[in-house]
Structure 1
Amino acid sequence: MVALSNSDMIAVLWEMIFRESDTVVILIEWILARMVLHPDVQSKVQEEVDMITERSQPVMESDVTNMVYLQTVVNEVLKLHCPSPLLV
């Protein structure tokens, strides 16, 4: 086994830190792409959001914990399209 030098370890850590913001953007893009391909899933997510937020209210962070279907969709997209090989 080859040991990484300090500069190599620092480079890997910086890559992880800077790539983290990209992973969120990539995940959102994949979620939206998958919902475009599956309008039935998009409709169910929209129904859940409307039901929990009373349709005209903005989504609050506290609302997300009640959105079981949305969380399931996000988890399934993560299984299909992991945004970072380091997350696997």
Structure 2
Amino acid sequence: MDKNQIEEMVFAVVSQQFNVPIHDVTPKILLIDDLGADSAALVEFSARLEDTFKTEFPDLRYLADKDLGELIDFISNHGKLNAATGTGG
């Protein structure tokens, strides 16, 4: 899966969970500052991402102060690590 596909999937999850039109979702959005995510929303968001990508991620709540671009980079790199080690999905 390439980075553009990951971005599209993350944007779709953000749009659905936070009720934001997909065309308004950009890599510069911050989950807490821009979308008002609280800790419960971050946990739910992490779970949705794990369901979407069929893998487990380390606790993504630490990325709450990062923008979506950084989150997409993290997921992209996590996927590469899984492929290299034969773990995850």
- More helix per residue: 1
Q: Same fold (TM over 0.5)?
A: no
TM-score (norm 1): 0.31
Q: Quick check: which has more Rg, 1 or 2?
A: 1
